[in-house]
């Protein structure tokens, strides 16, 4: 059977997680919901976030038939994972972005010391630090509030998802001034973070990108960090975790994964937003790496 995967975010940054999922499970059906009318979640209380996220989760399960739920939003993953699981049948696996990111950091790190960059709200929740600590890692977190607006303004490298760094470096044209600004902003944040790590006696060898917008900065980040440091994209890590669950047949209705492979690799995708369909359609394709198509407006109440 073809699994139906529901992906939820407070905005459209979670489309980078959807992109990673489609690359790994091209035979699946996807429904993406961006609760854009009620963003930013980061400034709201845990109780309000839990209510919003539970409503969104129910929409994906009850109205879109999702058999897996991916919470492609760091704030909701940090503060509302339990509430979301309680809002849907217990047979539906609910996967956030934080645990898979911490797990990938554990696999990557030899020194056990990890750096995490994220939004202010995610850092204030200390969810990554807790998830890393539970795995025996020491994690130092830093809020980088300018990176999201820089990504939304499009001041990234021409093909932000390209990891072909040689081709990137060999580009004849110099980086346009916009991209240079973004690189400099990352350099400033990263220098502050590594200086703080050194002052604490840490020896970090892993950098976790703890925000769904940051995968679009991957080429810039790879160029700026030391060659022996590994950058972990938590969107990729979450997608990997979901696909492992699907392969293990952990959800009802997935069953025969050989059967799934017979379905042509042509992901079926429906996108929904609670507001700002225009911005979603305009910016979403850059995050998804392909056209998002028509975005349907849904009303989940106030």
DSSP letter for 257, please. Answer: H
Catalytic residue among 73, 144, 243, 271: 73
CB of 181 to a second copy, least distance (A): 6
Please report, as ranges, the residues that interact with a second copy according to CB under 8 A.
Answer: 36, 43-44, 145-146, 149-150, 152-153, 155, 177-178, 180-181, 184-185, 188, 275-276, 279, 302
List for the chain the helix, strand, coil content (%; round to 5).
50, 15, 35
CB of 34 to a second copy, least distance (A): 12
With respect to a second copy, which residue has the nearer C-beta, 152 or 205?
152
Phi-psi region of 70 (alpha: psi -120 to 50; beta: other; left: phi over 0): beta
Nearer to a second copy, 53 or 104 (CB): 53
Q: Are 17 and 39 in contact (CB under 8 A)?
A: no
* Helical (H) or strand (E) element with 77: helix 74-87
8 Å CB contact between 7 and 31: yes
Residue number with CB closer to a second copy (128 or 189): 189
| Nearest-angstrom CA–CA distance, 25 and 160 | 21
Quote the CA–CA distance of 246 and 177 in Å, as a whole number.
Answer: 44
Is 73 known to be catalytic?
Answer: yes
Q: How are strands ordered across the β-sheet holding 113-118?
A: 138-143, 113-118, 206-209, 230-233
CA distances from 128 to 3, 40, 203, 233, 267 (A): 29, 19, 18, 13, 31
Q: What's the closest the beta carbon of residue 226 comes to a second copy, in angstroms?
A: 19
Three-class DSSP category at 295: strand
Task: Please report how close the Cβ of residue 191 comes to a second copy at its closest, in angstroms.
Answer: 9
Q: Pick the closer one to a second copy by CB: 153 or 159.
A: 153
Catalytic residue (choose from 132, 144, 211, 271):
211
Distance of closest approach, residue 137 Cβ to a second copy, in angstroms: 28
Of 145 and 226, the one with the shorter C-beta distance to a second copy is 145
Distance of alpha carbon 42 from alpha carbon 49, whole angstroms: 9
Catalytic residue annotation: 73, 211
């Amino acid at each position: 059977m073809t699994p139906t995967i529901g992906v939820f975010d407070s905005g459209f940054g979670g489309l980078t997680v959807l992109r990673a999922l489609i690359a790994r499970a091209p035979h699946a059906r996807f429904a993406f919901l961006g609760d854009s009318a009620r963003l930013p979640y980061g400034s709201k209380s845990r109780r309000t976030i839990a209510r919003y996220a539970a409503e969104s989760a129910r929409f994906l399960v009850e109205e879109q038939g999702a058999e897996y739920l991916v919470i492609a939003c760091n704030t909701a993953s940090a503060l509302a994972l339990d509430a979301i699981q309680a809002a849907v049948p217990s047979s539906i696996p609910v996967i956030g972005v934080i645990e898979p990111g911490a797990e990938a950091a554990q696999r990557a790190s030899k020194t056990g010391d990890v750096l995490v960059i994220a939004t202010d709200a995610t850092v204030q929740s200390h969810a990554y630090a807790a998830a890393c600590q539970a795995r025996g890692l020491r994690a130092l977190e830093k809020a980088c509030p300018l990176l999201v607006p820089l990504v939304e303004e499009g001041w990234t490298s021409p093909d932000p998802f390209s990891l072909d760094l040689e081709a990137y470096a060999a580009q004849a044209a110099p980086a346009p001034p916009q991209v240079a600004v973004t690189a400099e902003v990352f350099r400033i944040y990263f220098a502050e973070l590594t200086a703080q790590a050194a002052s604490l006696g840490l020896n970090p060898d892993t950098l976790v990108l703890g925000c769904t917008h940051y995968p679009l900065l991957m080429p810039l980040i790879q160029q700026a960090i030391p060659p022996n440091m590994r950058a972990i994209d938590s969107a990729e890590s979450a997608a990997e975790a979901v696909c492992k669950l699907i392969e293990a047949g952990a959800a009802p209705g997935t069953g025969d994964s050989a059967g799934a492979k017979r379905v042509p690799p042509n992901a079926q995708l429906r996108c929904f937003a609670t507001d700002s369909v225009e911005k979603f359609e305009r910016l979403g394709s850059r995050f998804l790496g392909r056209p998002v198509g028509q975005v349907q407006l849904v009303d989940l109440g106030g």
